[in-house]
Structure formats: C-alpha cells, structure tokens
Homo-oligomer: A and B are copies of this chain.
Amino acid sequence: MKAFIEPIGRLINRLTKLPGVGAKTAQRYAYKIIDMSDAEAEELAEAILRVKKEVKYCKICGNFCEDEICDVCKNRKSDIICVVKEPKDVVAIEKSDKFNGRYHVLHGTINPMEGIGPNDIRIKELLERLSKESVSEVILATNPDVEGEATAMYIAKLIKPLGIKVTRLAHGIAVGTDLEYADLGSLSRAIIDRREI
C-alpha cells in the first residue's frame, strides 16, 4: 500500500520545490491545505498564478512592478542610484527606511564559474541611464561575497571616469552582535574600516 493517494503525493512533491521544505514539512502543509475551506485553497492557488502573471520588471530600473515602470521610478526624484543584485534587495533596503533614492537592479552578479559575464547582467542598462539621467552618486549595494565584490569593483572602474561619486555599503559587525560572537570576516572588516568619532 503506498503511503499517500495520488493527489496528496503530487501536492507534497510540488511543495518540496519551495526553499527549505522537505518531505515532512510538505506533508504538514498538504494536510493543512486539505483541511482548508475550498475558498481558502482557491485563493492560495490563484495568488500563485497571479504573481506569475502580474509581476513584471520595471523597464528603467529592473525592480518588481505591475506596469511598465515601478513606483520608485515613477514617483521619486533623486540623483542617487543604489545598485543591487536582485529585486528582493530593493525590498530589504526600502524596509530600512534610510534610503530615499532610486535603484538599479542587475539581476545577477558576475560569476565566471557559472559562465555569467558582465554582458549577462544589466550593466549596459546602468551605463545608459548614467549617460541620460543626472546622477551624482552610485551606491554599489551588491552582497559582500566574492561575486558581489567583483561585480562592484568592475562597475566602479567603469563609472569613476564619468566623474560620478561611487560608494559601497558599510560592512562590519552587525548591530546587536557582541564582539566575541562576531564572525572573523565582519570583525576584520570593522577594524579596517574603523572611523573617527
């Protein structure tokens, strides 16, 4: 006797495609979905289909949007552009409420091991924007990993000759972390980038 009848087995299998979801968790989710009202389950299924249909990428900055142009590009006047790897990084920065400029989403970082070169991400589009728009500063907010750093260096080299200020997000000990628990990388960076008070 197989453990699950076909529709349940199929749903469990599909749910394991979600990040960090193994067979046990998928099983829990599947039971919950079986117990949902028809309306609730339909709403969930519809939300999945609609997100695929309705989420587009802004023609200017590459951020998530519903139309051609995203809300940030439509409504914000600023001469600072923050360059990030993915649209979800925009969400993270927006939540911090400390940045009021515009964005440019690269949709990837340079990664020779996986065959991703400078032409595979939206660097050309960034340079085009810089030649048309009035921009005083570009913040390179790619992740502090090997690919993110390399991409930031690459873009910095292209932009600096244009006379535009190029900055990088500060890295150091995470706020709230005790010294003894800080990872070596963050601690080294915090010492190198120490600032006068």
- Answer whether residue A157 sits at the interface, using C-beta atoms and an 8 A cutoff: no
Which secondary structure dominates chain A's binding surface? helix
Q: How far is the CB of A3 from chain B (nearest CB, A)?
A: 5
In the complex this chain forms, how many copies of it are found?
A: 2
A15 contacts chain B at the CB level, 8 A cutoff: yes
- For the side of the interface on A, what is the size category? 35 or more
Chain B residues with CB under 8 A of A64: 4-5, 8, 34
Q: Is the CB of B1 within 8 A of A51?
A: no
Q: Of the candidates B15, B18, B41, B55, which one forms a contact with A49 in the assembled complex, judged by CB atoms under 8 Å apart?
A: B41
Q: Closest Cβ of chain B: how far from A148's Cβ, in Å?
A: 18
Hey, what's the 0/1 contact readout for A1-26 against B, CB within 8 Å counting as 1?
A: 10111111011011101111000010
B52 x A36 contact (CB < 8 A):
yes
Contact A3 B52 (CB under 8 A): no
Interface residue ranges of A32-63 to B (CB < 8 Å): 32-34, 36, 38, 40-55
A-B contact pairs, 10 of them (CB 8 A): A3-B94, A5-B55, A5-B64, A13-B47, A19-B29, A33-B52, A34-B51, A34-B52, A34-B64, A41-B51
**Chain A positions near chain B (C-beta within 8 angstroms):** 1, 3-8, 10-11, 13-15, 17-20, 25, 27-34, 36, 38, 40-55, 64-66, 70-72, 75, 88, 91, 94-95
